[in-house]
Structure formats: structure tokens, C-alpha cells
Amino acid sequence: MSPAGRPATPAPVTAFIGLGSNLEDPPGQLRAALRELEGLPETRLTAHSPLYRSAPVGPPGQPDYINAVAALATRLTPEALLAGLQAIEGAHGRRREGVRWGPRTLDLDLLLYGEQVLSTPALTLPHPRLTERAFVLRPLADIAPGLRLPDGSAVEAHLRRCPPGGLVRLEA
């Protein structure tokens, strides 16, 4: 309890969010999503990477993706944060039916939530494919140089082993 007798508010946790879009003005989708992340309750946007263009993962014939990573300081639980991310996706027209890894207006992935390791039907932390994708690792390293994953491995080490996959930085 706090000195005033109220329950103590937990300290903010740093969470990293992967952003991606390849439909309906992808750069605009990501810029709008960054503003909306700032609007989540008990959450503050502390940093975001430049935008990057990458080849799509998944079915052929879809447009390239625009990607970025954002850092948040949040008091939300991982599950509440995920629900907030999914609400933002829905507001951008994201539908979860259809082809896996198909084109989408907005994709927000909870990559890391502090040092937490979690595996539930709804959420796996760290994100299960985090270390395999340059379009996540490069922007993550941009905003959190020296970051280590909960297993102690360095993001930069994973990035060095990950094929670049045609990743192109779009803006500073």
C-alpha cells in the first residue's frame, strides 16, 4: 500500500511493439498507429524506429510491407496491452480471418514485455519469430542498442545472423 492507503501502482514496464502494414497507405497507417499507441491507458510512447520497407513473408503477390518498432512505458498487463493493440488494429480495418501472413492494413505485435517469458493460447513472449526477422530486429536495434532478450542473448547478435531480406530504411 502507498502511504495514502491506496494500492501501489506498479512501475511501468518497457514493452516493444512491432508495426507492419502493406495496404491502404502503409506509411500513413504506421504513423497513425504510433499516435494511437500514445493514447493507450497508462502507457507512454518513449521511442520509435524509422520506417523500413521489406519483402512480404507469406503468400506471393502481395505488396511490400512497411515496418517499424515502438517502445512503450506501460502499466498495463501484457494481456491488456495485447487487447489494446488488437483494438487499434481493428480500428484500422484489420480482420483476422483469411490467409495467414496475408496482406493487412495494420499488424501490431507485442514483441517484448520487460523480461517476461509467457506462453498462453493468446500470447507468447518474447514473440516467437522475433529473432528470425530482420524487419523486426533492425528497427528494434535502432531504438534499443545493446538490448538483451530475456534469455540473455543480444538483439545485435541475432541481427548479424539474420538475412536482411531486402530491408530498406525509408526515413531517419
Radius of gyration of the chain (CA): 16
Look up residue 153 and give its three cell numbers. Answer: 542473448
Given 25, 35, 107, 142, the catalytic residue: 107
Q: Is 109 a catalytic residue?
A: yes
State the catalytic residue, choosing from 31, 95, 100, 109: 109
Calpha distance 138→81 (Å, rounded): 23
Instruction: Judge whether 94 counts as a catalytic residue.
Output: yes
| Residue in 31, 53, 94, 151 annotated catalytic | 94
142 is catalytic: no
Report the catalytic residues.
94, 104, 107, 109
